[in-house]
Amino acid sequence: MFVKNTTLGSVKTRLAKTIGDFGALEVYKELLKITKKAISEIRSDVRIYFSKEIDANEWTNFPKYKQQGSDLGERMYNAFNDGFNDGYKNIVLIGSDLPDISAKHIKNGLNALQESKATFGPAEDGGYYLIGLQHAIPELFKNKPWSQPHLLQTTLQELHNLNISVSILETLNDIDTYEDLIASDFYKNNQKLQEKIQQLND
């Protein structure tokens, strides 16, 4: 799992343009709680990859690493490579900012790798919230339109060209903008978060 260090000004930067850095940090912390719950309900081994530096006070029951690479693709590829080099056969990678992620989605990703060599959980913005592989495929992580609306489509086309089998999971929405936030049940049902953001922006 990829997580960002919970430092002011470094998380949910697009959202922060509307609700400020403090508000964006509060949102990210709430999303982390949801991800922690999902992770706690699966039996598979879990590794935590921090964006900047390993935080000794967070994720205390899991092996922790620092993401390595100059862009997101390289960091993801290196994390997969670590796992495959250590003998794992099926690996899924998720982010930590999905309001609707659950253990079910992670399990579905792992189960899909029994049938396909790759699996993706599409995000509504055209990217993906989960990628699962049976082995490292370098092409998937090079020269990709990260954070662009055609990321998944471009990646799937590459897999098709490589003749690699793919399965697609349920589509979920992530929260990148203020519009994403206020439209989400995650926000509508979290009165404390609403109050915090209101106070920060009064």
CA contacts within 13 A on the Cβ side of 189: 6
Q: Which two tokens stand for residue 102?
A: 């659950």
pLDDT, position 200: 86
By the 8 A CB rule, do 49 and 1 touch?
Answer: yes
Q: Which of 75, 155, 165, 91 is nearest to 123 (CA)?
A: 155
Question: Along the 202 residues of the chain, how does pLDDT read in single tens digits?
Answer: 999 999 999 999 999 999 999 999 999 999 999 999 999 999 999 999 999 999 989 998 899 999 999 999 999 999 999 999 999 999 999 999 899 999 999 999 999 999 999 999 999 989 999 999 999 999 999 999 998 899 999 999 999 999 999 999 999 988 888 998 999 999 999 999 999 998 887 7
Structural domains in the chain, CATH included, are 2-197 (3.90.550.10)
pTM here is: 0.94
Calpha distance 50→79 (Å, rounded): 11
At residue 32, the pLDDT reads: 95
Do the beta carbons of residue 87 and residue 160 sit within 8 Å?
no
Q: Could you give the strand order of the β-sheet that contains 118-122, starting from the edge strand earlier in sequence?
A: 91-94, 128-133, 118-122, 166-168
